[in-house]
């Protein structure tokens, strides 16, 4: 099969059956590449050249061997590209983040081409990095097609290396990282089953379990080895097809969001300014899968190693507000800035009788090195 995605340190580790390439910042729990796009931060490693994300660099750049990668302590983002050299202000009738609708006559901000959105600011202004330029674009209308993130099940073992998103699995397949016969366990909405089967058929993978009801646990020693339902089912990857809408930019623009109450909770938009339109996966209003009770020993926040039981204890100690829980436990403050965990954390708080109003979404929308913001007019 022709390789369409470049090989990375992460894809090589998955192909070798050794996804545990990093460790968590707090308790040094093994971590593996989850998102394949660089926003989860779970595959942060160090190299002679500095800290990198394994899913974003070549194996040669990352280390001389998988043994080197596996022993490296976790450090997050990739080396900065260097300072932005110019700053420009533009005006546009319509700005679209994401290129999902090619019919629009708009100023398109496309992350797939390397555009990095810094944030949405007052006076209808969007700031972004594009190559060697920083752009500040004033607009009349903003369209966000920002996609979504993985929504991990609140079950034991949800942070094990070998838990990967469906989109990441597809990307690793294109990088020739999924060997024929690889055993997949899949948690996804039924609407995603055909997509999963297409992935399996395209790479000769074996689907040993697939359901929209989360298993009781994911088990393994330092990597995924099985899922537990009414029985133990051996597998090598646990694929997550359930998604959390990417709504941070919408919230920065003045939209409001709330935790859903049907199925596994996600944070979904409830109202937007009249000049803002949210489309695609970012506009989802339901996870599409049945709810599951959060297990005490499940990780609610993988970045800061905060378990469900830690959140419950925090509330019982009197920290009965999301901002207080955030500051007390560190939940939602790690590399992903709540992308993977905000809904899970707020769902636990809601079960404990705490108002689950989302904490404020502040720029930057993605991690950006300060050196990249040092623009010279």
Q: Give the model's pLDDT for residue 79.
A: 46
Identify whether the C-beta of residue 40 lies closer than 8 Å to the C-beta of residue 336: yes
Residue 129 sits at φ, ψ, to 5 deg, of -105, 130
Which tens digit of pLDDT belongs to each residue from 33-53? 999 999 999 999 987 778 899
Q: Give the model's pLDDT for residue 109.
A: 95
Q: Give the model's pLDDT for residue 4.
A: 76
Q: Give the model's pLDDT for residue 361.
A: 72
DSSP state of 176: T
Q: Give the model's pLDDT for residue 72.
A: 37
Q: Give the model's pLDDT for residue 370.
A: 64
Q: Give the model's pLDDT for residue 2.
A: 47
DSSP string, 32-49: ---SSSSSS-TTEEEETT
Q: Give the model's pLDDT for residue 64.
A: 41
Q: Give the model's pLDDT for residue 46.
A: 83
Could you give all domains of the chain from N- to C-terminal order, each with its CATH number? 9-77+152-240 (no CATH), 295-353 (1.10.10.1100)
Identify whether the C-beta of residue 287 lies closer than 8 Å to the C-beta of residue 260: yes
pTM: 0.89
Residues of the chain with pLDDT under 70: 1-3, 63-85, 102-103, 362-377
Q: Output the 3-class SS for 350-377.
A: HHCCCCCCCCCCCCCCCCCCHHHHCCCC
Q: Give the model's pLDDT for residue 1.
A: 45
């Amino acid at each position: 099969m022709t390789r369409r995605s470049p090989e990375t340190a992460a894809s090589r580790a998955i192909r070798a059956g050794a996804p545990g390439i990093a460790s968590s910042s707090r308790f040094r729990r093994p971590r593996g590449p989850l998102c394949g796009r660089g926003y989860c931060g779970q595959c942060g490693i160090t190299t002679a050249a500095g800290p990198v994300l394994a899913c974003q660099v070549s194996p040669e750049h990352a280390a001389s061997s998988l043994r080197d990668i596996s022993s490296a302590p976790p450090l997050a983002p990739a080396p900065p590209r260097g300072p932005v050299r110019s700053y420009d202000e533009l005006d546009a009738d319509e700005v679209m983040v994401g290129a999902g609708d090619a019919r629009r006559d708009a100023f398109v901000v496309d992350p797939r081409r390397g555009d990095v959105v810094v944030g949405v600011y007052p006076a209808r202004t969007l700031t972004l990095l594009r190559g060697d330029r920083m752009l500040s674009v004033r607009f009349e209308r903003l369209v966000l097609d920002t996609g979504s993130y993985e929504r991990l099940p609140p079950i034991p073992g949800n942070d094990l290396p070998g838990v990967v998103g469906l989109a990441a699995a597809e990307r690793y397949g294109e990088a020739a990282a999924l060997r024929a016969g690889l055993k997949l366990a899949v948690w996804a909405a039924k609407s995603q089953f055909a997509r999963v089967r297409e992935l399996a058929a395209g790479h000769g993978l074996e689907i040993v379990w697939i359901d929209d009801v989360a298993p009781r646990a994911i088990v393994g020693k330092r990597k995924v080895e099985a899922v537990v339902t009414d029985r133990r089912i051996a597998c090598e990857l646990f694929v997550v097809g359930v998604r959390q809408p990417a709504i941070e930019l919408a919230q920065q623009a003045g939209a409001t969001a709330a935790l859903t109450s049907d199925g596994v909770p996600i944070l979904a938009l409830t109202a937007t300014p009249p000049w803002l339109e949210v489309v695609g996966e970012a506009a989802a209003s339901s996870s599409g899968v049945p709810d599951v009770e959060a297990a005490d020993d499940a990780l609610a926040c993988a970045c800061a190693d905060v378990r469900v039981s830690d959140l419950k204890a925090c509330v019982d100690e009197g920290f009965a507000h999301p901002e207080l829980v955030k500051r007390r436990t560190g939940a939602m403050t790690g590399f992903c800035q709540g992308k993977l965990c905000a809904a899970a954390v707020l769902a636990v708080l809601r079960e404990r009788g705490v108002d689950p109003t989302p904490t404020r979404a502040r720029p930057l929308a993605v991690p950006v090195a300060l050196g990249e913001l040092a623009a010279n007019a």
